[in-house]
Amino acid sequence: MDKLILGLLMIKHFTVYEIRQVMRQNFSSMCSDSLGSIQAALKKLSQQGAVTYSEYVEKGKMKKEYAITASGRFLFLEWLKTPIDMSKNKNMDLGKFLFMGYLPKKEQLQMLDLTIEGLEVEVQEFEAVKDAIRFTEEQEKVKAYLEQNSHLATELIETSQAADLAESISQIGYFEMKTLEFGLDSARFQLDWFTKLRQQLAENEKEG
C-alpha cells in the first residue's frame, strides 16, 4: 500500500480521507481501503522521510495534507523499475478450491454458485468503473491541478522524460486504463472458468 500512496502523491497532495476515497474507487482489488491501514502506511512513510505534511483548518477542522519528498520519489521510482512479479498474486481462498473434493457434490455446486455470483458482481463493478470514466475530462482536471502546482508538474516531466505536461499525463492515463482492463479481463476469465467447471460438475452429477 505504501508504494501506491507514493504513486498518488507524485501528482497531487492528498489528505488521508482523499487517499481512502481513491483507494476505495480504484484499488479495492489491490489493497485495503481502511483508514487504519492507510494511516499506518503514511506513518511508515513519514518515518522513512518519504512523505511530509502540512496542516490547515477547513470548516473548523484541522486537516493534514500529505506530499511526497525527494527521497520518497526516489523510493517510489526504484520500486517502479523492478520487474512485475505476478507470482506474488497469492490468494489463500484457493485453498478452499484445492480441498473442495472433501465436500459432498451438492455442496460443491453450492460453493461454486456463490463463487460465480461474487465474480459476476466483480465484473459488473469493473464495467461500471470503466463506463464512468471520462478520460479527457479527468486528464484536464489533473493538468489544471499540476499547472497550479508547478513544482509537481516540473518533477513529473523530468521523471517521465516526456516532451511536455500533456504527454506525461497521457502516459500515466494510458497505464491506468490498462490496469483497469487487466482487472476486468482477469475477472471475466475467472467467471468463465468457474462457470464451465460448474457446468461440468452438474453434467457429471446427472450422468452419475
Which pairs count as long-range contacts for 111-117, CB under 8 Å and 24+ apart, including other chains? 112/194, 112/197, 112/198, 112/201, 113/198, 115/194, 116/191, 116/194, 116/195, 116/198
| pLDDT, tens digit only, all 208 positions of the chain | 899 999 999 999 999 999 998 888 777 667 777 888 899 999 999 999 999 999 888 888 888 999 999 999 999 999 988 888 766 656 677 888 888 899 899 999 999 999 999 999 999 988 988 888 888 888 899 999 999 999 999 999 999 999 999 999 999 999 989 988 998 999 999 999 999 999 999 888 776 5
- The chain-wide mean pLDDT, for the chain, equals 89
Q: Is 136:143 a contact under the CB 8 Å cutoff?
A: no
pLDDT of residue 27: 75
pLDDT of residue 204: 83
Query: What are residue 51's DSSP bridge partners?
Result: 68
Phi then psi for residue 49, to 5 deg, are 75, 20
pLDDT of residue 148: 93
pLDDT tens-digit series, residues 181-204: 998 999 999 999 999 999 999 888
pLDDT of residue 50: 96
Q: Is 16:42 a contact under the CB 8 Å cutoff?
A: yes
For every residue of 58-75, DSSP letters joined together read: ETTEEEEEEEE-HHHHHH
C-alpha cell at 67: 506530499
Neighbouring CB atoms inside 10 A of 61's CB total 7
Which pairs count as long-range contacts for 69-74, CB under 8 Å and 24+ apart, including other chains? 72/6, 72/9, 72/45, 72/48, 73/6, 73/10, 73/155, 73/159
Neighbouring CB atoms inside 10 A of 72's CB total 23
**Rounded-to-integer distance, Cα 144 and Cα 139, Å:** 9
Q: Largest Cα–Cα distance in the chain?
A: 70
**Rounded-to-integer distance, Cα 82 and Cα 75, Å:** 11
**Rounded-to-integer distance, Cα 14 and Cα 139, Å:** 17
Domains of the chain: 1-81 (1.10.10.10), 90-207 (no CATH)
